A and B are shown apart, each in its own frame.
Chain A
Amino acid sequence: NFMLTQPHSVSESPGETVTISCTGTSGSIASNYVQWYQQRPGSAPTTVIYEDNQRPSGVPDRFSGSIDRSSNSASLTISGLKTEDEADYYCQSYDNSNYNWVFGGGTKLTVL
């Protein structure tokens, strides 16, 4: 089955840029769109990137997404980090073998 793997945690300083990776296994990550969700403690996830690199209205352009076919990975890049960006981030896509939604394990972003 298709799976998505993320680093457990990343940390960076305010004002800096951080990139979170999401690597596909047992399938091509480019086969389906990838979404990214931000989840703050005690809250439901919210979409920050959809369809690989699209931002919903209201999401600042500091957030961007990309796909690298050579590494079979998706990436979420957050520039000009703010303390309010501190949260868990999940990538999501689909398993073509069974049409299931698949989530990465999540990455805890610390901004310090």
Chain B
Amino acid sequence: QVHLVQSGSELKKPGASVMLSCKASGYTFTTFAIHWLRQAPGQGLEWMGWINTKTGNPTFAQAFTGRFVFSLDTSVSMAYLRISSLKPEDTAVYYCARVYPSGSFPHYWGQGTLVTVSS
């Protein structure tokens, strides 16, 4: 059974950095990419991009270039999202997700990590 378990909530000050984790289980980690999505309070879902779990090559949506880094530790089936120079508008729930086995749409989701950026 596929599970994605994300790290706990974070409270950070503006200008700080944060690293979120997403641990996958129930399948061979390098078989499927990991995608990251953001949901600001009361808002909709935004796709941030994805990381190729075989090669480590990341792809970012245009709105998420520069301060966002995707990384992996394939030895423990973990994916990471690092956000630097945090701004109050980065306050959101961040989800990792994996696609359906025979499709290219998000089907397996982590439970989400709330990041709050406030002074």
Tell whether, in the assembled complex, residue B61 and residue A45 are in contact, meaning their CB atoms are under 8 Å apart: no
The answer for the CA separation of A93 and B107 in the assembled complex, in Å, is 13
Q: Is the CB of A45 within 8 A of B45?
A: yes
For chain B residues 17-56, which have a beta carbon within 8 Å of chain A?
35, 44-47
Partner of B112, one of A44, A47, A90, A99: A44
Compute how far the CA of A102 lies from the CA of B37 in the bound complex, rounded to whole angstroms. 11
Which of A33, A50, A98 is packed against the most chain B CB atoms within 10 Å?
A50
Flag if A103 contacts B103 (CB, 8 Å): no
A-B contacts at CB below 8 angstroms, number: 52
Say if the beta carbon of B95 comes within 8 Å of chain A: yes
**CB-based nearest B residue for A105:** B44
Q: Interface size on A (CB < 8 Å)?
A: 23
Given A33-B103, A51-B103, A100-B61, the answer on whether A106 and B111 have CB atoms closer than 8 Å is no
- Answer whether A50 and B107 are a contact pair too, CB < 8 Å, given A100-B61, A101-B35: yes
Q: Quick check: A100 and B47 within 8 Å, CB to CB?
A: yes
Residues of B participating in the A interface, judged by any CB pair closer than 8 Å: 35, 44-47, 59, 61-62, 95, 100, 103-107, 109-112
The 10 closest A-B pairs by CB, nearest first: A101-B47, A44-B109, A106-B44, A103-B45, A35-B105, A105-B44, A47-B107, A100-B61, A44-B112, A44-B111
